Structure 1
């Protein structure tokens, strides 16, 4: 709070400019310290056009006990006489004590009446002013105040001490307005003038400018509701029809409230009006429709005007697109909150409704019509603010379902790419370890036959090179077509050995046989070993013609496949002897890794192997 003082000599008036007073400076709840006697004519004082604040000097005029406050002060602070009577001004209202302590003490000491004028500024704009006479009478200090509102409404103080101007914007666009009636004088918000299509006039504070426009047919309804409210009814809701000065008939929803003191005497009246006209001119007279029209072509972004109100809400098309409701039949209800998946956000919205928080900005998951299988993702912003005794809200909703889906797909793609890189590194490492093991074994077994070691390693390296080349750009390591690999493997064997030794390689593979990389890697190495074993033992005569090695790989069922590898060589005289050599030991180990079963068989022209193996194995990835 900031205070500036000026003395107007010609008027003999001290002016006090008060800037941005906060709620805490305006009123603090403190315990009563002194008993106060009843004020005579208390009921009569409530009907005076001026406010009377009565203070009892204490401590030689350095502080003051509050005897009573005027009705305007009580209304602004939303308090009762019993909340302030018998308290020290310095403790109950530190802000006003700072403003009043010097003039009150001066009047206490001189007993001379003092003229003052108070100006209340919020956001550097004049919101309200009061002409005050400070009088010493009956050993008390009495402030007689005539309040004037520069904005046509009661003074509103927000938590941060700033006058909230959002209400004027909301009232303008939603065609709503409100009034207060205190001490038989009205304060009208700007929204009322938007509804009745005219500017503010000086005498508007002395009569009900809405009721005076009611058409004759609805006049009995006005008389009825006023009688009901005067008899103690605290709330009355109805629809009335008015005809504006420019001849437009409007339907107005009226929500009227009365406030009574502890003895049942009327203290003040408050009303909220909303233009709910449905005639053909509605779209031309309601500013909110022009605003909402700006969002007409946006099905992803929605403007929400007063979304916390179940009566006076206005939503753009995007909201109905998100919740998949027909705007003509939709009835706004707080049950819609139950369709939000996140319970924590449900709680935050309920806190917003109750006034326990001022704003909310969250990403929510929404079950359309409560269906968990039909969800949408939305970013929601809601802000709640009060204007007098009226609560308003505004918000935006953005449907980010598709964007979120694309973002999730991108995240999953990045994650999958990371997994693929790990997969490739893992396979390369394992295969190099396998090749290194085979090389160490053969160095000991064929230390005097380096050509055999070289042939074997070239064959293995060629098969693994094919495997890595074909899987380099793949995204699916579980469904690799085997036929393409075998064709390429035959081509490599033909280049490395076939042309040199005169051996032909022929293969027949089921075209729809797809294997995981866990299966295809050891299978190719088994085929390499069987092929090299056949080359070594089946064709001792390098000059013999028509040498051939054939492969046939078929699916036996949905879980098992079979490999038949044959040569047309010299055959095996002692099968038990060949099964003990190093090549066969490697084949056995690879078959075990493949979780398969292999057997040797003789046929009319040469030797063959039958290998059965599972089509699928558990897919694992190591870092």
Structure 2
């Protein structure tokens, strides 16, 4: 069992379709809540063909059944005593769910409401009920008129002979026309209409204007104009309207309507003729424009636009591929301009449509289906011209997205290479200056220890060479993964100092990315701490399991912490290190370069250092401390 609802705007009525109703769920025996006195005029109401159902509202949005129509009771093989005084939700959950919102609306607004209910078995209508809901004196009345389909079809069969109908259908088929006749609010549709809308006849078609139901939203104002125009003074109407068939095809219908009115100005009857003037309806005709369109139909990057400023447009297949909308779903109107990014292009096209200019030749950016992440760049040329007494237009639309992207990528690639070359020269120069400064300092401090100077320079050169190799391979100076560098640096240090029995280990958060401005001094800091540890932490060659370790973690999204330690003999006096050690001065200066804080840790075994520094390089130490909520203690 399935229920569908649809509101018919033109007829101002809601339609309910019920498929394969389960009669076992329509009635459920339930407990009687209240016994009512006999309803007045009950015998008279038996003679009324309509079912008059009376409900008494309850506080919980439920209803007590006071009366059920005799026709319904007879169809369900029930007596009034089986249902009266019982709750509607318990006695008939199906009809309670079906009508509860309609009953509530009528109670609250006290305005009558009309519904039309179609009962289907499979896809065939078996009966139709016209329902009216009324609220009066605290009660709600649901009045239902039921008609079976064999009664519906009888009047049509009496009026139209089968032979005449076949002849008319043949004429309408070849002329692409169809018509209707409306009398007393009921329609009679000719077979040609069903050829136009491409579906079979349905019983409920007699209640609606099935053509107007299919009118696209953009042409709905034409229907409103029609409904407001027809009168004894203006009893004819002619225009072209567009409909969308149940199969999704857009069709253009040349529409002619004529109405008759009585002496009171009320419409008695009306006649409508529709002629399908769509291009697709005349495939058997060969026109010159077809040859042009066919020449473009296999080109997805170039589109021919015939009459783009008119409702009777014809576009080649490339247009629909560019806008990524299937041809049978596309509705041509001014709203397509909303997806053009450039305001000046939209203004130009508005002027072209208004006849203020005769040509547009431009490049535009088009948002496909309004998606800001899906752009296409197109060249557009449209020209309007006069032929005889009529205005026409023609144009070309070319997708140049790929060629423009290739041009932009080439420009960016050249610019990036130039920047990279300049950056490489700049980095090499800076690092050579740093190494030169270190060399000068150590020559003065260790003039009698040339081997130590060479060892120190070799360590620094290895770290900087590693840094340059990785950075220039990725061509990214701003997002360097610290874990990759530390792993390779440990490998280099193990190679250089493995003969001394020292092992180098690291534990680095893989989510830490630093710029080259931060990572260069950080690597040099680690080199200096490493060289100090090799020099002072392991003075005896007989020491076992000599290890130098470092751990770098994120304290928060803006701050890093590095712990560096060794398991050597430890510091006896940290003041000696601070006051009389060149390496310590270098470490302090490098720490200031990364806006960091340096401290010596108290360790039970060996020596440890802690450096806290910002992830973002370039801020002062005061700014860094302020962000962390600390005062400057240096």
User: What is the TM-score when the length of structure 1 is the normalising length?
Assistant: 0.49
Q: Which structure has the higher relative contact order (CA within 8 Å, separation 6+)? A: 1
Q: Which has the larger radius of gyration?
A: 1
